[in-house]
Structure 1
Amino acid sequence: MKDYDCEKLLGLPKLQIGIGIGLIFVSVISNIVVLLRSRFPVPGFFLVMVPLIVMLTMGLALVGANKLGSRRLMATPVWFKEKVRNNDNWENIKSCIFTTGTCDDLVSRSWNLKAYDFSIKKLSSIESGCCKPPSICQMDYVNATFWTKVEGAVDESQQQYSDCATWQNDRSILCYNCGSCRHGFVRVMESKWMNLGVLLILMALLLIIVHILLFVMVMWEHYN
Structure 2
Amino acid sequence: MVRFSNNLVGILNFITFLLSIPILIGGVWLSRQGTSECERFLDKPVIALGVFLMLVSLAGLIGACCRVSWLLWVYLLVMFLLIVLLFCFTIFAFAVTNKGAGEALSDRGYKEYRLGDYSGWLQKRVNSEKNWNKIKSCLQDSKICKSMIDDGSNNIPATEFYSSHLSAIQSGCCKPSNDCGFTYVTPTNWTSNGATPTNPDCNVWNNDQTILCYNCQSCKAGLLDNIKSDWKKVAILNVIFLIFLIIVYSIGCCAFRNNRQDNSWKRYP
- The corresponding residue for 1:156 is 197
- The corresponding residue for 1:15 is 45
Q: CA deviation at 1:185?
A: 3.6
How many residue pairs are counted as aligned between the two chains?
A: 205
Task: Please tell me the residue identity of whatever aligns with 1:107.
Answer: I
Structure 1 residues 57, 137: closer, same or farther in 2, change over 3 A?
A: farther
- The corresponding residue for 1:126 is 169
Of 57, 82, 85, the match for 1:55: 82
- The corresponding residue for 1:74 is none
Please give the secondary structure, in 2, of the residue aligned with 1:126. Answer: helix
Please give the secondary structure, in 1, of the residue aligned with 2:244. Answer: helix
Please give the secondary structure, in 2, of the residue aligned with 1:172. Answer: coil
TM-score by length of 1: 0.64
- Does residue 90 (structure 1) correspond to residue 132 (structure 2)? The answer is yes
- 1: CA distance, partners of 2:165 / 2:176: 15
Q: Do 1:55 and 1:200's aligned partners in 2 also have CA atoms closer than 8 Å?
A: no
- The corresponding residue for 1:103 is 145
Q: Provide the alpha-carbon RMSD of the alignment.
A: 4.3
- 1: CA distance, partners of 2:58 / 2:228: 29
Structure 1 residues 134, 215: closer, same or farther in 2, change over 3 A?
A: same
My pick for the range that moved more, 93-102 or 186-195, is 186-195
Give % identity: 29
Unaligned runs of 5+ in 1: 70-76
Q: CA deviation at 1:83?
A: 4.6
Structure 1 residues 104, 21: closer, same or farther in 2, change over 3 A?
A: same
Structure 1 residues 140, 177: closer, same or farther in 2, change over 3 A?
A: same
- The corresponding residue for 1:113 is 156
Q: CA deviation at 1:27?
A: 2.9
Please give the secondary structure, in 2, of the residue aligned with 1:111. Answer: helix
Q: Which has the higher contact order (CA 8 A, sep 6+)?
A: 1
- Does residue 207 (structure 1) correspond to residue 251 (structure 2)? The answer is no
TM-score by length of 2: 0.56
- 2: CA distance, partners of 1:163 / 1:139: 12
Unaligned runs of 5+ in 2: 1-22, 97-118, 262-269
- The corresponding residue for 1:73 is none
Structure number with larger C-alpha Rg: 2
Q: Do 1:7 and 1:13's aligned partners in 2 also have CA atoms closer than 8 Å?
A: no
Q: Do 1:62 and 1:194's aligned partners in 2 also have CA atoms closer than 8 Å?
A: no
